[in-house]
């Protein structure tokens, strides 16, 4: 496997960089058939660590963060208010031919929303479910609202040139044709950095998005092996043999950094989670 590895540093010497590289590669070598990517940016110093950062991966649920950003952007533009209500439905058009499909609650990590079909809920509630419990139903409703091409256009303005939000979740016809949402570690890093810096939309929106991301229910990668006084605003994503996490880590001394961990090719999610959470701890220790 060819890897692209760079480390831009001001305060760290080459020995530190070599040790960091060796520790991370040692972890990844435990699953030699797998492909990994890492992107880290210390938001205090600007130092970055990039490993396979331009490789494309199935985005899984990490694509829900760009959708969140687009919803806040359109709300700021006055297209709707986040307090406006939406009809909860379970019928969506395939991007292949416009035929209708629906989601199965048994395949969704958030199930309560299915009991609300036919009712109306605030957009803000749907965004919260989309991120914190990774609701696929809420995601499809929001994508219907903001439209996938608009998400991509906004990500390009943030400098994220490869990430693609093509469709909602469980569009089987699109999946069969290879029409999937994709991402790179670098693009997710840029998006999380923009949220952290208040430039994804504006400062207020950034603060609100961080609060939602900090209520993340799935915390078994970035935060799993970090000290309890470390906080993080994260969004993970998992499908078969794909396991990701991305987020903003807040240290007790006020510093913060963005970290993105992507993997594919490991059938057992628990194995991928163990490796990625260990790498998260390696990065944390290095930045100390």
What's the CA angle centered on 40, arms 254 and 27, to 5 degrees?
115
> CA torsion 136→189→234→154, rounded to 10°?
-40
Cα–Cα distance between 69 and 263 in angstroms, integer? Answer: 24
DSSP SS3 for 272 = helix
pLDDT of residue 2: 41
Q: Are residues 130 and 177 in contact, defined by beta-carbon separation less than 8 angstroms?
A: no
Instruction: Give the angle subtended at the CA of 190 by the CAs of 13 and 27, to the nearest 5°.
Output: 55
**pTM higher than 0.75, yes or no?**
yes
Q: What is the spatial distance between Cα 199 and Cα 13, in angstroms, rounded to a whole number?
A: 31
Domains and CATH numbers, the chain: 1-55+184-288 (3.40.710.10), 60-179 (3.40.710.10)
Q: What pLDDT, on the 0 to 100 scale, is given for residue 8?
A: 43
| Whole-number pLDDT of residue 15 | 40
CB 33 within 8 A of CB 288: no
Report d(CA 153, CA 288) in Å as an integer: 37
Mean pLDDT by 10 residues, the chain (288 residues): 43 55 94 97 92 97 98 98 98 96 94 97 98 98 98 98 95 93 98 98 98 97 98 97 98 96 97 98 94
How far lies 100's CA from each of 25, 96, 175, in Å? 45, 10, 14
pLDDT at position 21: 84
Cα(192)–Cα(127) distance, integer angstroms: 17
Q: With CA atoms as reference, report the closest residue to 65 among 196, 240, 204.
A: 196
Determine contact, residues 166/139, Cβ cutoff 8 Å: no
Question: How, if at all, do strands 120-122 and 231-239 pair?
Answer: unpaired
Q: Which two tokens stand for residue 216?
A: 């993340």
């Amino acid at each position: 496997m060819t890897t692209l590895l760079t480390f831009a540093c001001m305060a760290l010497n080459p020995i530190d960089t070599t040790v960091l590289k060796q520790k991370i590669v040692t972890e990844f070598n435990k699953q030699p058939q797998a492909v990994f990517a890492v992107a880290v940016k210390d938001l205090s110093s600007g130092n970055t660590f990039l490993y396979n950062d331009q490789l494309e991966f199935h985005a899984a649920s990490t694509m829900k963060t760009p959708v969140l950003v687009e919803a806040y952007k359109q709300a700021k533009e006055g297209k709707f208010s986040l307090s406006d209500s939406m009809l909860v439905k379970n019928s969506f058009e395939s991007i292949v031919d416009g035929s209708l499909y629906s989601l199965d609650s048994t395949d969704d990590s958030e199930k309560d929303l299915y009991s609300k079909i036919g009712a109306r809920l605030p957009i803000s509630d749907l965004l919260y479910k989309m991120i914190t419990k990774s609701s696929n139903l809420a995601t499809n409703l929001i994508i219907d609202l903001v439209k996938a091409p608009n998400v991509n256009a906004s990500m390009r303005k943030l400098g994220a040139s490869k990430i693609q939000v093509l469709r909602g979740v469980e569009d089987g016809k699109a999946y069969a044709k290879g029409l999937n949402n994709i991402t790179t570690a670098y693009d997710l890093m840029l998006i999380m950095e923009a949220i952290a810096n208040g430039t994804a939309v504006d400062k207020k929106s950034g603060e609100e998005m961080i609060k939602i991301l900090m209520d993340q229910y799935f915390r078994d990668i970035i935060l799993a092996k970090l000290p309890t006084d470390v906080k993080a605003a994260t969004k993970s994503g998992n499908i078969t043999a794909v396991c990701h996490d991305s987020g903003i880590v807040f240290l007790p001394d006020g510093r913060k950094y963005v970290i993105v961990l992507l993997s594919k090719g490991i059938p057992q999610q628990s194995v991928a989670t163990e490796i990625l959470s260990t790498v998260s701890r390696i990065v944390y220790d290095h930045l100390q």
